[in-house]
Amino acid sequence: MPRDIPGAAPLLRDVFGFDDFRPGQGEIVEAVAEGRNVLAIMPTGGGKSLCYQLPALMREGITVVISPLIALMRDQVRGLREAGVAAGALTSANTEDETAAVMEALQDGSLRLLYLAPERLASFSAQRMLSQAGVSLIAVDEAHCVSQWGHDFRPDYLRIGELRQSLGVPLAAFTATADPETQEEIVARLFGGEVPQTFLRGFDRPNIHLAFTPKDGPRRQILSFAAARKGQSGIVYCGTRAKTETLAKALRDEGHSACSYHGGMEADDRRRVEERFATEEGLIVVATVAFGMGVDKPDIRWVAHADLPKSIEAYYQEIGRAGRDGAPAETLTLYGPEDIRLRRAQIDEGQAPPERRAADHGRLNALLGLAEALGCRRKELLAYFGEEAPACGNCDLCDTPPETFDGTEPVRKALSAALRTEESFGAGHLIDVLMGNETDKVRQRGHDKLPTFGVGRDLSKGQWQAVFRQMMGRDLIRPDAERHGALVMTDRALPVLRGEESVALRRDVVQRPERRPAAKA
């Protein structure tokens, strides 16, 4: 039931045609309608626009909506007008007549919502027009555009803070970007540092099943996942353009309808794939992250990651394309040490300043933590976004709780192997040392003389690989990009090394190939 806000329920029903609020909407509408400064973080498709459109109708005066997306503004204006709401837009796409009509409605006070492209804020006449128009609320869509670090930075967004001050009205900012740095920038730049009432809602997508699996013949793993879902629309995300093509072909060879999609393709070819995906049933698109921004298909039944995404935010966004219709949808994310090495190297070799790189490592750590989680994945995912939730019953770890063991001793042995070899080697060599394998490399380096040599004979190679992967996942060791992925201990490992902390590890699901059970069909 709608919350008890005067006027909200009838408007929700009569103007917008909804019986109920979505999770979070009611509280946000209430706060905005009461004239509080609000920062609302909701995922794409969560229903942000209602959170300013409805309060706009509950308040006296005009609400100015600032959005960078002209097409979206025009859509919303059209929708509102069809519902009988006096709304208009001032954007570069206007005809002269449209602009004249909007200005007239502004002057005679009949307009309720004015959509404004941010570029307009640069002009003095627009500022004056707004100061005389009786604005009582500013709503900012895609508020992360004020962040200079983001991909979507809009310099004109920096003027919004001044506008808020000069008009002296409350401001409600909306975004789907949940990371704390972006939030801080929004608060500093739009609200002049005064902390608004902040809502983070609606991130749970309970119909999406979450699952991670360590890579173990990734192509076979993806093919078997797809085989069990034949005829359903799905997306496979890959780390490289080349892989999208080979994997799409492998899927076609197995009788699927599949095509590849990446940023290196001609615009026409890409559009053709988008159209096919929208209209055809049961098509699989094997894509890089270039695929997705414009994808608005409600019945995508599954999303698989053939390679690890770059951050927990990217993961959330990519799996979030599945099951928009609310019906059950499935996901599978594959990951391995090579992914971790690659993602770390991408961050280290990027152009970002050091603080930003540290933050990016943090976002990757959050994703790796999710991959190596010991309990409900959704609980962990939502906790990252600031939402509390009970165990979900709809993830692989809720389905089959992992067996754990006290891994402190193997972890300490592994750390010691890395340290005694001067943190100059990758997992393969360190495992040889631990298992006492007298390889040429081991003998040449004299590593068979180390006290660590052979102390790990109690575990199999596969088990050691799992230990190293989980250690990387917990950021106890990191591959050093400048030294070909040599494993280096991090500060986080110190308490473990000193015996002050213990480490629970998952008994791994990775089996040696010869003992692997038949692939599930």
Residue 395 C-beta: closest distance to Zn ion, Å: 3
Size of the site for ligand ADP (CB under 6 A): 13
Question: SS3 of 429, please?
Answer: helix
Residue 391 C-beta: closest distance to Zn ion, Å: 5
Residue 26 C-beta: closest distance to ligand ADP, Å: 9
395 binds, among ligand ADP, Zn ion, none (CB under 5 to 8 A by kind): Zn ion
State phi, psi for 272 to the nearest 5 degrees: -60, -40
Residue 376 C-beta: closest distance to Zn ion, Å: 3
Residue 278 C-beta: closest distance to ligand ADP, Å: 16
Torsion angle, alpha carbons of 511, 216, 229, 249, to 10: -150
8 A C-beta contact, residue 127 and residue 102: no
11/399 Cα distance (integer angstroms): 42
2 binds, among Zn ion, ligand ADP, none (CB under 5 to 8 A by kind): none
Residue 20 C-beta: closest distance to ligand ADP, Å: 6
Residue that the structure tokens 């308490």 belong to: 495
203 binds ligand ADP (CB under 6 A): no
Residue 234 C-beta: closest distance to ligand ADP, Å: 22
Those residues whose C-beta lies under 8 Å from the C-beta of residue 305, and which sit 6 or more positions away, are 236, 237, 315, 318, 331, 332, 333, 334, 335
Stretch that binds ligand ADP, among 14-22, 290-298, 402-410, 421-429 (CB under 6 A): 14-22
Nearer to Zn ion, 378 or 474 (CB): 378
**Strand extents, DSSP E, 380-485:** 404-406, 477-480
125 secondary structure, DSSP code:
H
Residue 414 C-beta: closest distance to ligand ADP, Å: 45
213/336 Cα distance (integer angstroms): 9
Residue 393 C-beta: closest distance to ligand ADP, Å: 25
The CA distances from residue 409 to 127, 422, 473, 497, 498, in Å, are 66, 20, 17, 9, 12
Nearer to Zn ion, 164 or 205 (CB): 205
Question: SS3 of 231, please?
Answer: coil
Stretch that binds ligand ADP, among 37-45, 214-222, 349-357, 426-434 (CB under 6 A): 37-45
8 A C-beta contact, residue 344 and residue 364: yes
Residue nearest to ligand ADP (CB): 47
The total of other beta-carbon atoms located within 10 Å of residue 134's CB is 14
35 binds ligand ADP (CB under 6 A): no
51/40 Cα distance (integer angstroms): 9
172 binds ligand ADP (CB under 6 A): no
25 binds ligand ADP (CB under 6 A): yes
Residue 198 C-beta: closest distance to ligand ADP, Å: 16
214/470 Cα distance (integer angstroms): 10
Give the CB-side neighbour count of residue 398, counting CA atoms within 13 A: 13
Nearer to ligand ADP, 16 or 277 (CB): 16
Residue that the structure tokens 């006096």 belong to: 86
207 binds ligand ADP (CB under 6 A): no
272 binds, among Zn ion, ligand ADP, none (CB under 5 to 8 A by kind): none
Q: Enumerate the H helices of 108-240 as residue ranges.
A: 124-132, 160-167, 180-190, 218-227
Residues in region 212-271 near ligand ADP by CB under 6 A: none
Nearer to Zn ion, 111 or 319 (CB): 319
Stretch that binds ligand ADP, among 17-25, 29-37, 145-153, 327-335 (CB under 6 A): 17-25
Hey, what are 190's tokens?
């739009």
371 binds, among Zn ion, ligand ADP, none (CB under 5 to 8 A by kind): none
244/421 Cα distance (integer angstroms): 38
Nearer to Zn ion, 201 or 209 (CB): 209
Residues in region 38-57 near ligand ADP by CB under 6 A: 42, 44-50
77 binds, among Zn ion, ligand ADP, none (CB under 5 to 8 A by kind): none
66 binds ligand ADP (CB under 6 A): no
List the beta bridge partners of residue 234. 284, 302
Question: Directed axis angle between helix 312-319 and helix 354-371, to 10°?
Answer: 50
439 binds, among Zn ion, ligand ADP, none (CB under 5 to 8 A by kind): none
Nearer to ligand ADP, 39 or 371 (CB): 39
SS3 sequence of 3-64? CCCCCHHHHHHHCCCCCCCCCCHHHHHHHHHCCCCEEEECCCCCCHHHHHHHHHHHCCCEEE
311 binds ligand ADP (CB under 6 A): no
Hey, what are 261's tokens?
């999609």
Stretch that binds ligand ADP, among 18-26, 126-134, 159-167, 489-497 (CB under 6 A): 18-26
21 binds ligand ADP (CB under 6 A): yes
Residue 58 C-beta: closest distance to ligand ADP, Å: 15
Chain residues binding Zn ion by CB under 5 A are 376, 378, 392, 395, 398
The total of other beta-carbon atoms located within 10 Å of residue 311's CB is 21
426/407 Cα distance (integer angstroms): 20
Nearer to ligand ADP, 72 or 359 (CB): 72
Residue 27 C-beta: closest distance to ligand ADP, Å: 13
Hey, what are 418's tokens?
């890395």
Nearer to ligand ADP, 114 or 340 (CB): 114
Q: Give me the residues that bind ligand ADP (CB under 6 A), please.
A: 18, 20-22, 25, 42, 44-50
